[in-house]
Amino acid sequence: MTRLFRIAISIAIMFSAKGAFAAGANWYVQKGATGSNNGTSWTNAWNEMNQINFSTVACGDTIWLAGGTYTTGLSVNKNCTAGNVLTIERVLSTDTVPASAPGWNSAFDSQVVIQSSQITIGGGNYWTIDGRIGTTAGNNFGIAVQYTSGSGGNGIFESNSVGVVTNITFSHVELMGPPCSATDGSCSGGSDGLNLTAYGNPAQNVTFDHGWIHRWGEAIRYLDVQNSTVQYTDIDTVNDGNTEHADVLYATGATNWTFRYNRVWGVIADGIFFDGSQGPVSGINIYGNVFYHNAGSIIDCYPGTYSDFHIYNNVFIDDGQPSGNHPSFLYIQSTLGGTSAIEDNVFDGVSWDAGSVGTADYNAFSTKSGKQDSGTHSLTYTSGGQFVNAPDTANPIAADFHLTSTGVTTFQNGIALPSPFNVDADGNVEGANGTALIGAYQNSGSQSQAPQPPTGLVATAQ
């Protein structure tokens, strides 16, 4: 009886697991497909982004995107759940199911370009868009929203007409703005990369991961965004003097969000700008980033109420470029209350106009600016030779802020921070070898940004 009982339990577990991990249906989008345009195969694929019929797509399904240039925007409005996430992915030749679907061609494994249009968050919950590959240096992101002309626009836009949107993820996506932002700032309309500004309907749990946001008037615009993350992303060439304010990120009423493991350069006015006059700002975590080749304020806290504001393990460098306000500076115009702290950061030529901060210590300041905080453990150093590849005005994208042996010696007097702030972009734990290093990286030698999220995991629970 005991043996039969165990067999019955095993069979029950097998069927339960099979149900839990059953994959949803597969749908297909291919530019120029000439079949019945119903998305059921590559032959009958939807032939443009605006042809996707979301009424036939169920939560838990996967929509595969073939490479090509699409001229209409992608608008998603689907209410799903944590157990049935809708997935939209650029296809790879290694994907077994789509690579065996009727009409497959290996040429589909190429970059998906949405040209001079946008990805619209039309509403809904629990869906993800993933380009699955891409590096900034290679400019080969799986999905790219690229404006090659025009006077303005958005890369990703949250529609004002929808309710609260939650648990949405964008990975391996490039957002490139119109030429007028990159050159002289002459855009006649708004020019925002990631625009989450649905008044009265704040976005929640939105993640932008392993991407590239560049050539915009404002790279990111948040109004009342909550519990959200930007990580492993390059943000650069923010330059529009007419309709925007050249912000890396403009935020009002921000609550519980994280900005980590990003590279920010080529910004002429404001970096991350918090408008505290529009509501309290709390639970902000800015850590593991590198800011360089910028002019103006890097982090600006406009007067208001701020609490639990953490700036940890970043590198801030003023290399004198581009033309504009130098030295670059932190501008903390209000008291940062609660658990707020500024620790384990490198400031090279960056000045500090700071209000009252709960804790400001264990920072390294180059002799260009001198010590800017009153922490007893903070230090000054002479800059030069600390980083693998310091900013180059001719090729800023090639900068590498991993430490040389000189850098390890210079920045060895940090403090080991609590989790999750004690892990760098490469996955190294601060102080694991007995020495907590100041700055964005806890190792010597050059490494690529990691860890990458998993790819090819298309099975979703139903």
pLDDT, tens only, 16-37: 333 333 479 999 999 999 999 9
Residue 382 lies in a domain: no
> 231-290 pLDDT, tens per residue?
999 999 888 666 677 899 999 988 999 999 999 998 888 899 999 988 899 999 999 999
- The answer to whether residue 179 is domain-embedded is yes
Q: How far apart are the two ends of the chain, measured CA to CA in Å?
A: 33
Q: Distance of alpha carbon 113 from its chain centroid, rounded? A: 19
Q: 230, 259 in Cβ contact below 8 A? A: yes
Q: What is the pLDDT of residue 354?
A: 67
- 444: pLDDT confidence band, cut at 50, 70 and 90? low
Q: What is the pLDDT of residues 174-196, one digit of tens each?
A: 999 998 887 666 777 778 999 99
| Residue 101 counted as domain residue | yes
Selected residue with higher pLDDT from 48 and 5: 48
How confident is the model over 80-88, as a mean pLDDT? 97
Q: Let me know if residue 431 belongs to a domain.
A: no
- For residue 449, pLDDT beyond 70: no
Judged against a pLDDT cut of 60, whether residue 212 lies above it is answered with yes
pLDDT of residue 443: 79
pLDDT tens digits, 351-368: 988 678 889 999 999 999
Residue 229 lies in a domain: no
Question: Domain range for residue 190?
Answer: 20-213
Output the pLDDT for position 4. Answer: 41
Please give the backbone phi and psi of residue 111, each rounded to the nearest 5 degrees, phi first: -65, 135
Whether residue 5 is predicted with pLDDT greater than 90 in this model: the reply is: no
- Rounded mean pLDDT of 124-136? 95
Burial of 232 per CB tally in 10 Å (0-12, 13-18, 19+)? buried
Decide if pLDDT at 323 tops 90: no
Residue 142 domain-assigned? yes
Residue 446: predicted pLDDT: 56
SS3 94: coil
Whether 171 is in a domain gets the answer yes
Q: Kindly report, residue by residue over 194-210, the tens digit of the pLDDT.
A: 999 876 777 899 999 99
For the CA atoms of 294, 297, 300, 302, what is the dihedral angle to 10 degrees?
-140
384 falls within a domain: no
How many domains are contained in the chain?
Answer: 1
Q: What is the pLDDT of residue 224?
A: 85
- Give per-residue pLDDT as tens, 143-156: 999 998 877 889 99
Q: Would you say residue 6 has pLDDT above 70?
A: no
Quote the pLDDT of residue 15: 35
**What is the pLDDT, as a whole number, of residue 187?**
77
- In which residue are the tokens 């994280």 written? 258
Task: Quote the pTM value.
Answer: 0.91
Strand partners, 81: 84
What pLDDT score does 189 carry? 73
Arithmetic mean of pLDDT over the chain: 88
